[in-house]
Structure 1
């Protein structure tokens, strides 16, 4: 008897069925049977199902003699199911990786409830995935399992069958089955949730719900949408047969009205000329199932009045008036925006006629400030006569460009600089009259560089993948890059800050211009050398890293060749295999998947953390693939482990300046199992890893000694030519890791798990 019976009905989904079935069979949790039901589909669905059944014994092919619809097709699958739990999946949707493993673990944690509700994300043809807006109802906090009376908000979720796992014995004992017709999920889901003695939730996206551009039931105009009335009749008939559930009648009545209004209002469901008839029938249902004393939220009263009185013409008039109002508001806003823009540009032209202010500098940066943030601190310390200001531009993680400063010896706690919002009069005044403009991103294209203005450009880290003009032959990575505008921006640069010879050669080829390269090191890494052991301890405490734990920062690179970013590692499995001493700080790109932390609490989601520098200081080691972060992190002289099994795809899509596999900064793993072995065997911090990192630092971090920003300011602002000498790598003293700061040393090796017996005891290395 398998743990799961996954039932997939298929009708005219031949373009998507292969991906759907593959998403089930490729799950890391393999204790399943896949029952694929061909609902007499006129396309190749039946042949696809037979192909899968021939190659995998877990697949059971069911061919119906005639088309019955989605509900009866699911019933046919249930009749043949033998698993402990039933899961439904439509033929054009997919299970996310490791979804069944997460479901199985949650079922075990909650004592095998009757129903487990999990989350989904809508996926669009563009590759965008948007998580369910009601995901807050799936929180795992509080007791579990529970009854619906404890969490009535579950009734606000989308009423579908495929976001739940059902205990088969519970379904068979209660006699649940799907009715024919459209909206067959409605008379299934409501009775199931109301009847279940035990419910649980899983706050994880387990299904990707495909939003088809055409061909889906909800996007096809048909009189079959009138089936919604019969389905709600079945729901209320179930309540009549089960008086103990009468308390749910007001809730279901409100849900029915909302649903009927949705069907009526959507332009792509009801055929032309049928809306009045639909509303008349809705009025009849309103009167038939209305529950005396049922409260109606204020925002829903208009909808209830619409259905209650059948106000078809009134609704059309209100909708037309609303459309006219929205159009008027939109045009007036556009006019005001155009007038405001014209006034501001006129203001900018006037300001350009006024003298430059030699004591003004404007900084702009993405994320936590990066190199401009370090340079601004150096400006304030070494050239205190210059007043600085920041342009608040959004960073890649949605944060504002607020600088994370590096304290210099001469800094005396100056007040925070003013913030300039783009598109304001103060913003244009600063751009017109400031002598220094420092940025790590493209400047405003409307900026006219004045004679005497100095533009300092800092780049986005040490280059690994191709950038700038080198992307001309890489359309997957270039996307919508405007190369002409890029070169216009390059022509404004006076100085480009470079970390070393490798960066200089790449920048000067990818961004050809008349600027001067300042090969002084990366200013943002200065904090690695000025931070103290107390600073490191404070950062770890703020992140919730337990004392004595080994904190591994996991920061994978963006896949330019993928529309949606894959989940590369099962981080919970990683920390589970390594033991309780390890914690992962996960900086990934999966906001729609919700919190990364599972039941262990040892995977901390730091994707939205504003300071990457702080995360580096708080960690004991870095695990990455081909993120440029490895070059900065090497300056900390802490272990780095590369883990990438798709290097060829990345290199083909973006191109690379150096093959880090041939010249790695530490141990190299090809996949999750090898990565676990690297940590289990102690290679992540062994002497071989140390030698590799030393060679890597010498090549890519020749000037990162904590004084890079100082050298830039002394050269650009103070005009000095005799700059502070570079400290040799062997004499540098970066901020100590937590273990080196006095805590217990991290485990270099971890206990290995042996089948059939307890873990072996290993020594520290």
Structure 2
């Protein structure tokens, strides 16, 4: 076996699948299935373990190891929102240590993976790393070429210079190195390089490609396993665990002429915007000084270490995501860097011009936002917070609806001391039910409420660009499970994102304290596309509680109120909007559809709320326009089956365990224009919720033949429900209220 890939997983659920896919998609010519193995080590990660286990079940080349002793999830301590993983300030960083999602490092997990590896070479990847297409094949070719010619030419010295035809320490390339065939003298293995440096780069959260780190990282090179073992290389505990083993390996290989490079981009590291040790400034980063002290001790004060140390420490010093301004002089002195800190600052002044310009731009945007808020809001910010006031909003102030409405109802029962106040647009004030207190967006009352409320709950965003005060708690409930790309993932579809400010999206996410999720898929997506330091609440969607609690009498009343006759089968047709076209244009000839189905069927048509209160269905036979109905949940309860295309309503409707029909006549166009997270029409369990139709004739046949409620489609629906409704059970609102309002 050529390669063992070790991935230590610690709270990287939004990145892990892509990393594992990048390995599982690698092939090597003539190597069969034995080219690689993938060892995923659970570094105390409750979220990543399930993802890795899923891959292991599907691919025998993937193994999952339990967390090393001391890395259990329940043993993490710290004052950040994720135990020992403090909040970051949102700045991308570089250098060794940036790849650790845990303040204590991932050393033990990597060591555990290396101990059970069977490949000739080791590659340590992080969940944020991607092994680019064709990378493994290129590595194999390079290693084969080295074994074939038996030469040591092209070795790299530790100072970054490349030797030409001779050892880095002056020995000739045609002679044996100090260790003969390698530290273990194991024949064919010893013919290859001990360390193969790989082409690598980084991409930040904005999508900009950056050059490699100042310091070498584990994912940027292959280590010959016999070499790694013979020299007892290992990752120590604590931050900056990369420094000692990576530098030692490169120095040893350079000294013996067994350091080689592959001039091809193989690994791409995705920088996380926040939520990691390396994005959290503080004195914990002084640990890099100790790491180099250990390296010097282990190498006998090797003079080649000193320039490496200086370069790396200066990079850490200059990174505002690591060393705070007030700590820089102390860091400089502790590191024993040459010259005084004032002189160093003077030398760096010219190099920081760009950074100062960017900081000035940020300050300008914040000042503009503050001015827009108005004098009234600024005055109210000096008022004390009301400990019993909660402000709710839904669908950009369209009324009382969705998860916030269910949480509001739950709070009135379980936390009656909490006063609930809704934000509503003046255009939708008629949608507010009697007895619900509300304010009009932008009004004086609105700004006072936003300035003084302790609790904020929304499924979209509050208007006006408010500033969340210390002590306020913001719960983002969202309003559906994502099939189409969301948040930062929309950057790949620029034709449809004109006018969208991703900076504002990120600023909004930075205000959240909690993000609600109904399934693991959603949690993974939100973790990546809305990168910030909020806490995931995997508690289910409160709006779906009614699907588990509604009685038969309640459902019968709803059906009667909608005009559904006894014995009729009600089909809820709820297509979503298209980004690539304007207005609601049904992909069904509703008059023909209802006529050919016959009087035993009635079709409830619900247009997306973007299109207003009416679908304009006058003269469409037995199709009933229910677009203006105040509760989509009630429509779902009344329907015997759901016909939809790509609406997130399908994920909620699955809670009812009633038939789902995917009518997707423009699937390819929809995927190409907006992008989706999985193939809804694949027919695979967990991806496809039921029967599928691409034309109206196919849809008619699906209904008339009974395929929509056959054993095959029932099985698909069961798998879909298991994947996307694991947290919904009728008690989500209660769980959220108790967790968010602290009622026990």
TM-score w.r.t. length of structure 2: 0.47
TM-score w.r.t. length of structure 1: 0.46
Q: Over alpha carbons, which structure has the higher Rg? A: 1
**Relative contact order higher in (CA < 8 Å, ≥ 6 apart):** 2
